[in-house]
Homo-oligomer: A and B are copies of this chain.
Amino acid sequence: MRQLRLHAFEMNTVGHIQQGLWRHPRDQSRHYTRLDHWVSLARTLERGLFDGLFLADVLGTYDVYGGSPEAALRGAVQVPANDPLLLIPAMAHATRHLGFAVTANIAAEHPFVFARRMSTLDHLTAGRIGWNVVTGYLESAARALGLPRQPGHDARYDAADAFLAAARDLWLTSWEDGAVLRDRAAGIYTDPARVRPVTASGPGWSLHGIHLSEPSPQRVPVIYQAGASGRGRRFAAEHAECVFVNATTKPQVARLVADLRAQAASLGRRLLVFMGATVVVSTTAAAAHAKHAEYEAYASPEGALVHSAGSMGIDFAALPQDAPILAPATQAILSNVEALGGTTKRAFINSLSLGGRQPPIVGAPAEVADALIAWSEAADLDGFILARTVTPECFVDFVDLVVPELQSRGAYKTAYAPGTLREKLFT
């Protein structure tokens, strides 16, 4: 049986994917500013043999709904949002195997400086770092960085190609294997003949110099990617090792996965594909449904609309209930809109659950395991990226209840493989 792989989906913020649940009495997401909160989460995930913690990020606010960030601020919809990279060292020190896939937007970083950040993390985690490459979709993020507007969708991916090529050059070619001698007797730390400068440029930047970091365990972070557009899938096929997909029906996901795998295979590459999932589990089905109802009482449909308005570029506050949801003329995530197939706002609101767009899997451990395995088989998925609901209990529940069930079916590892994140994922 296929061994499922799991990531947790988190963000250095209060309200991530399921909006409103920070109001639940047991929810701890307001402690996102405390290191203990994250270290405890990392230990829970490592106890559950998760491959990784996937950390999302945005650099702007969700200000499309009502034309202002007011609703996002009121409901804590991804604002405030702190830097995700700085969570990793403390979690890495408290764990040995858990990987960290961190989102960083190429528009916010100079590749020379960013390449060193990732090398530093790869050193400090002993090779457990991944990078979710994003190009931004919020107009507010473009304005925050002083741009008049987001560059066009395909232009952003072209910029990502150039950024990634420069970073790979720094990671892979600047220091040869064997350059670092650490020869105390001869007084030679690095053999200069095996180190060379990199010269590169892209839109708005250029660089020239040797990479400042000596080679790290993985050299290149494991590349993650989540774009579902045609151009995004091409980028994934060319660069990504792990792809994060979201869709609502098994045939949709199966088609997306088949296309990704075919494009990658045509380039001689292999991808792991993960689907976003939300799980509410308890010891019995009745208890799980009761828990779901209890959570739902704190969910915020308005928060979900604020989030969707930002990611789709549609002002849901202004849209009539029976108007169809159609792709706007902005740089938002068009694939999110297209997936709705022109449904009305009213139907969209009725489809929301737990303050988000993802239909949750609710049930006893065996039912959840059945559902995950069925999804994996129907859509050829390598595993799942689990969104949080009421945190941290959602992850504790999953580790305590679902992981043993998956293990008893032979659908989940019983120990970590040795090595770096890449070695764990691909061997």
Contacts and interface: CB of A to CB of B under 8 A. Distances in A.
Interface stretch (A84-92, A249-257, A375-383): A84-92
A190 B86 contact: no
A209 B76 contact: no
29 contacts: A14-B189, A20-B187, A23-B185, A25-B184, A30-B182, A30-B189, A33-B124, A35-B92, A36-B93, A60-B209, A69-B195, A70-B192, A74-B192, A75-B187, A80-B180, A80-B190, A80-B214, A81-B212, A81-B213, A82-B123, A89-B89, A90-B90, A93-B93, A93-B94, A109-B113, A112-B144, A140-B209, A143-B209, A146-B201
A208 interface: yes
A209 B61 contact: yes
Interface in A161-194: 180, 182, 184-185, 187-192
B146 A205 contact: yes
Given A14-B189, A39-B93, A68-B192, 8 more contacts: A34-B126, A75-B189, A76-B190, A80-B214, A86-B120, A86-B121, A110-B146, A144-B209
Q: Indicate the member of A36, A39, A110, A300 with the most B CB atoms within 10 Å.
A: A110
Contacts of A88: 86, 89
Q: Indicate the member of A22, A36, A61, A190 with the most B CB atoms within 10 Å.
A: A190
B192 A116 contact: no
A144 to B, nearest CB: 4
A74 B179 CA distance: 10
Nearest to A122: B33
Contacts of A113: 59, 108-109, 145
Q: Indicate the member of A146, A180, A190, A191 with the most B CB atoms within 10 Å.
A: A146
Interface in A124-178: 124, 126, 140, 143-146
Interface in A331-362: none
A70 B210 CA distance: 11
Contacts of A190: 73-74, 76, 79-80
A239 to B, nearest CB: 23
Given A23-B187, A90-B92, A187-B74, A61 B210 contact: yes
Contact of A33 (B23, B59, B123, B144): B123
A90 B146 contact: no
A180 to B, nearest CB: 8
Given A86-B120, A124-B35, A74 B188 contact: yes
Interface in A55-79: 59-61, 68-70, 73-76, 79
A88 B124 CA distance: 12
Closest 9 A/B residue pairs (Cβ): A146-B206, A76-B189, A144-B209, A33-B123, A70-B192, A80-B214, A82-B120, A83-B120, A89-B90
B59 A212 contact: yes
Contact of A207 (B68, B145, B208): B145
Given A35-B124, A120-B86, A144-B207, A22 B189 contact: yes
A18 interface: no
A33 B427 CA distance: 25
Interface in A37-59: 39, 59
A246 interface: no
A93 B209 contact: no
Nearest to A37: B124
